[in-house]
Homo-oligomer: A and B are copies of this chain.
Amino acid sequence: MITHPDFVAEPWRLRASGLDLSVLAQVESIFALSNGYLGWRGNLDEGEPHGLPGSYLNGVFELRSLPYAEAGFGYPESGQTMINVTNGKVIRLLVDDEPFDIRTGVLRSHELCLDFRTGLLRRRVEWISPAGRAIRMTSSRIVSFSQRSIAAVDYGVEVLDGPARVVLQSELIANEPLPPQAADPRAARELADVLEGAEHRSDGRRVALAHVTRQSRLTIASSMDHVVDGPAGTKVSSDSSPDLGRVSVSADLVPGQRLRLVKMVAFAWSGSRSLPALRDQADAALTGATSAGWDDLVAEQRSYLDDYWEHCDIRIEGDVRLQQAARFALFHTLQAGARAEGVAIPAKGLTGPGYDGHAFWDMESYVLAALTYLVPEAAANGLRWRQDTLPAAITRASQLGLAGAAFPWRTIHGEECSGYWPAGVAAFHINADIADAVLRYVNATGNREFEQSVGVDLLVHTARLWTSLGYFDADGRFRIDGVTGPDEYSAVADNNVYTNLMAQRNLVAAADTIARHPERVADLQVGDDEAAIWRRAAAGMFIPFDHTLGVHPQSEGFTHHEKWDFEKTGADQYPLLLHFPYFDLYRKQVVKQADLVLAMHFRSDAFTAEQKARNFAYYDALTVRDSSLSSSVQAIIAAEIGQLDLAHDYLAESAFLDLDDTGHNTRDGLHIASLAGIWSALVAGYGGMRHDETGLAFTPRLPRGFSRMSFGLRMAGGTLRVKLTRTHATYDRTSGPPLHLRHYDTSMQVASLEPQTLPIPPAAVAGKTPTQPAHRSPAPYSGGTPDRQDQRSRR
């Protein structure tokens, strides 16, 4: 747990004083900068020590063969792994020939600070070299939102107590050795030496390298340029070799003097464009950035973020820790998606190599679910990427004997990379999740052009998948057998309620959408009665229900299975997947993550209030939350059924997952979906927001710890800000055309500059508090009140 660096709870920034090397990798993930195109982990400028060096270009991967002890037809033979590309972060510092290394000498102070408003990662260090020379170094690092291929560092060093010769080596390093990874299936594969040197150049303060990935044959060009500001006599030289580009600056400093180096780095990559073209592209980006200069880059970043926070900020009064966690979540959600154009949003964003850099279903169901209302264009980009991968998904469906498109369970480039089919290919719900993201985006933006050019393709191909995957049984029910729902502790079951309900929406949406776009009928080859079949399948969709228990089985027959023996399961045996075979998990009632409970969120319309409460209590007692995708959803439904204290505990679990490293794998990168889930827990949980075919609705209710909360949503060409107190809700259309919405049972229209305030009705009877499996109740969250804001509780 990252309890050591004593993060300071402040509303607008994350600050770590001191530096505990045992949690360095986690710190690097938390302080990672990214714009969705380019990502730099929060590695120390001087390169070492490091937890896990990481520089990523979204979409750059290497191929590796997928081995099987016993292979089967249709198993993917080739996997894709996100690679650590050329590292442009490194600026080594030598003080009188002594390398600056915090493991040597005396570290007088060390501070890292990530400012959510400026988007800068600042570092400030005072260090006494082993030879006794005291220095102060400061750095500011930026990964630009406005210039997606640019990252930069403003690096300064001063001597404090006497003269010293100072040398800076600013580097581009390819194929840096990586520490061995843990044998955790959630970690990344090890791939070494994957970059083939293609070109290297150095010229004054400018150095460039180019590489090609050995198997996947992607070309990567990287260039760096520098502005040097030092005392007279400061010297600059450069050199390059295939895997190293270096600009060296040396200066003799006396106290009061400062050597400053602004380093700008540009990247370009492609699987199709030539090396000369990419070299020129990186150089051009670099020239653009250097001619405008550091200050411009910083100003652009601030302006980009000002706009984001103005429209999207969540403001919480009464709990500065959750306030900080919420903004941390919003900041990283933005970083993951902002400029992910033509590429996926990986499960870890660009903050670490976990899950091989793959994107999964949670990209749509968690990350785009938030980005749709925060940065709608980013949500559109994510879906455009899915559309780009349609040919691969159509091929895959055909390989599986199915119609339409079967999107991959995990991928970087669009091809299926899952090596375990019961939790991969069988998890067909991802296709409905993509369709749902299309609907959500179109509902929120009203963007009919997108619907016509992107949405309808995704909806039609996924609808076709469902009609080929399911079938009408003798009783006329439409069954979808042998698939895996979101819960990864069950697999290959019949009529998973989540899957069937999401497929139902998918089918209806496809029929509705193609009806709105008759001009696409021909090129999508939609048959005369095809939409009718979709509607018929949706109408006949089989949703199993256990009348004895009065709950929905997660899948048909689920409630007949033996319950997991939680009493016999030790607290140290979680996550269960690392201690028990899938065989055992699959056959018993034990739930890794919200599945039926997620269905109650996304398909709120398909459950009565009583069913929601009964189902929630039933599944909460079985859900171990071994997945980071669970607690935010449980928070939402707990809030809906009036279990606000429990909701708050679940919210806190989500909120501090990465900040506290409670999952013990933040080293491999942040859990982007869980971070986006914090937004959902606040907005859909306490805001009670639901937005589906039936319109936009809110049933807000604040938890005990919050005195006020507000959140902003970009919708329908403007922004809606929702301001909540414990007794009233105010709907403020700060921009854009009037918006229809419901507040509890009241329907209304909210026009710009005419905020409407309504009372929040008294709380419904909350019923008995649901229980959780032994050892798996969420830690009770006592809140982060203002008087405790300088100290984090040890959770």
Given known pairs A481-B562, A562-B481, the reply for A73 and B492 (CB within 8 Å) is no
Interface stretch, picked from A220-228, A573-581, A673-681, is A573-581
Residues of B within 8 A of A68 (CB): 67-69, 419-420
A185 contacts which of B71, B79, B471, B581 (Cβ < 8 Å)? B71
CA distance A70 to B422 in the complex (A): 11
Is A425's beta carbon under 8 Å from chain B?
yes
Give A77's nearest chain B residue, CB to CB: B69
Give min CB distance, A419 to chain B, whole Å: 2
Instruction: Report the interface size class on chain A.
Output: 35 or more
Given known pairs A481-B561, A557-B494, A562-B481, the reply for A69 and B419 (CB within 8 Å) is yes
> Which residues in chain A, 168-183, are within 8 Å of chain B measured between CB atoms?
none
Q: Mark A723-766, 1 if CB is under 8 A from B, else 0.
A: 00000000000000000000000000000000000000000000
Is A582's beta carbon under 8 Å from chain B?
yes
Is A307's beta carbon under 8 Å from chain B?
no
Is A560's beta carbon under 8 Å from chain B?
yes
Residues of B within 8 A of A424 (CB): 70
Give min CB distance, A773 to chain B, whole Å: 16
Given known pairs A71-B185, A419-B69, A479-B562, the reply for A492 and B587 (CB within 8 Å) is yes
Q: Mark A553-593, 1 if CB is under 8 A from B, else 0.
A: 00011001110000000000000011111111011100000
Asked whether B419 lies within 8 Å of A422 as measured between CB atoms, the reply is no
Given known pairs A426-B583, A562-B481, A584-B401, the reply for A185 and B419 (CB within 8 Å) is no
Is A74's beta carbon under 8 Å from chain B?
yes
Asked whether A471 lies within 8 Å of B562 as measured between CB atoms, the reply is yes
Give min CB distance, A515 to chain B, whole Å: 28
CA distance A561 to B479 in the complex (A): 8
CA distance A586 to B426 in the complex (A): 11
Residues of B within 8 A of A71 (CB): 185
CA distance A400 to B79 in the complex (A): 29
Is A482's beta carbon under 8 Å from chain B?
yes
Asked whether B70 lies within 8 Å of A419 as measured between CB atoms, the reply is yes
Asked whether A587 lies within 8 Å of B482 as measured between CB atoms, the reply is yes
CA distance A404 to B474 in the complex (A): 42
Is A545's beta carbon under 8 Å from chain B?
no
Residues of B within 8 A of A519 (CB): none
Asked whether B73 lies within 8 Å of A421 as measured between CB atoms, the reply is no
Asked whether B471 lies within 8 Å of A421 as measured between CB atoms, the reply is no
Residues of B within 8 A of A290 (CB): none
CA distance A70 to B410 in the complex (A): 12
Is A72's beta carbon under 8 Å from chain B?
yes
Give min CB distance, A497 to chain B, whole Å: 16
Number of copies: 2
A70 contacts which of B420, B471, B548, B560 (Cβ < 8 Å)? B420
CA distance A319 to B421 in the complex (A): 48
> Which residues in chain A, 58-98, are within 8 Å of chain B measured between CB atoms?
66-76, 79
Name the residue in A71, A76, A420, A583 with the highest tally of chain B Cβ atoms < 10 Å from its Cβ.
Answer: A583
Residues of B within 8 A of A69 (CB): 66-68, 75-76, 79, 418-420
Is A523's beta carbon under 8 Å from chain B?
no
CA distance A562 to B562 in the complex (A): 27
Residues of B within 8 A of A421 (CB): 581-583
Give min CB distance, A218 to chain B, whole Å: 22
Residues of B within 8 A of A580 (CB): 73-74, 401
Is A528's beta carbon under 8 Å from chain B?
no
Is A787's beta carbon under 8 Å from chain B?
no
Is A473's beta carbon under 8 Å from chain B?
yes
Give A548's nearest chain B residue, CB to CB: B474
Give A472's nearest chain B residue, CB to CB: B562
Give A422's nearest chain B residue, CB to CB: B422
Q: Mark A466-480, 1 if CB is under 8 A from B, else 0.
A: 000001011000010
CA distance A421 to B471 in the complex (A): 28
Asked whether A73 lies within 8 Å of B586 as measured between CB atoms, the reply is no
Give A71's nearest chain B residue, CB to CB: B185
A400 contacts which of B400, B583, B586 (Cβ < 8 Å)? B583
Q: Mark A398-412, 1 if CB is under 8 A from B, else 0.
A: 011100000000000
Give A469's nearest chain B residue, CB to CB: B587
CA distance A481 to B578 in the complex (A): 22
Asked whether B583 lies within 8 Å of A185 as measured between CB atoms, the reply is no
CA distance A39 to B563 in the complex (A): 49
CA distance A581 to B72 in the complex (A): 7
Given known pairs A67-B68, A583-B482, the reply for A73 and B578 (CB within 8 Å) is yes
CA distance A482 to B581 in the complex (A): 12
Give A189's nearest chain B residue, CB to CB: B69
Asked whether A581 lies within 8 Å of B420 as measured between CB atoms, the reply is no
Give min CB distance, A536 to chain B, whole Å: 16
A586 contacts which of B399, B419, B492 (Cβ < 8 Å)? B492
> Which residues in chain A, 311-326, are within 8 Å of chain B measured between CB atoms?
none
Q: Can you add 13 more A-B contacts, CB < 8 Å, to A426-B583, A473-B560?
A: A69-B418, A70-B418, A70-B423, A71-B185, A72-B420, A73-B578, A73-B580, A74-B583, A75-B581, A399-B581, A400-B583, A492-B492, A494-B557
Q: Write 9 A-B pairs (CB below 8 A) sorted by A numbering.
A: A70-B418, A72-B577, A422-B422, A425-B581, A471-B562, A481-B587, A482-B583, A492-B586, A494-B557
Interface residues of A (CB under 8 A from B): 66-76, 79, 185, 399-401, 418-426, 471, 473-474, 479, 481-483, 491-492, 494, 548, 556-557, 560-562, 577-584, 586-588
Query: Which 4 residue pairs are nearest across A and B when measured between Cβ atoms?
Result: A69-B419, A482-B587, A67-B67, A74-B581
